[in-house]
Homo-oligomer: A and B are copies of this chain.
């Protein structure tokens, strides 16, 4: 079951078996139910995780409505990485959109691994770099494209999202209201 994680890690840095074993037994499989809050606002995020099954969203609340920053699927990284890095309290929630589970690695365990094995420090660098790539790309998309273009790009890249996540959450992810996304779809599909 942890093979998927190792596969992901190996794509960043190939760890010797001994180091991998040290790391492996720090992971704990955490199951969750639909609707469960995996990280609450005003809580410091003291873990990183890797999705094993299910879907999860990362969002915050502004003026009583939700702003979705990300969705996470199996194989993907899971954390409030900003809170994790900075030690500050989370302004976001992590919420399960379905039943599922993820592999959890606690901050203190990871920091011990960093100190013990330089290669794992490098792994941490690569992870941070990958996470940077993703946010930077999302920022770029948001600055450069119109809502309609953003939706089209999403359709091309992540069809699973469209099938398994309510549209009003996708609208928020795209930075528009639910009604606007409904009209964007109408515009597109009646041309």
Contact = CB atoms under 8 A, between A and B. Distances in A.
B60 A140 contact: yes
Interface in A45-92: 60, 62, 67, 69, 81-82, 85-86, 91
Give the oligomeric copy count. Answer: 2
Interface of A: 60, 62, 67, 69, 81-82, 85-86, 91, 114, 118, 121-122, 124-125, 128-129, 131-133, 135-140, 142-144, 175
B137 A139 contact: no
Contacts of A132: 81-82, 85, 128, 131-132, 135
B86 A143 contact: no
A90 B129 CA distance: 16
Given A60-B140, A81-B132, A81-B136, 13 more contacts: A67-B143, A69-B140, A85-B133, A91-B140, A114-B122, A122-B125, A124-B125, A128-B128, A132-B135, A138-B139, A139-B139, A142-B175, A143-B175
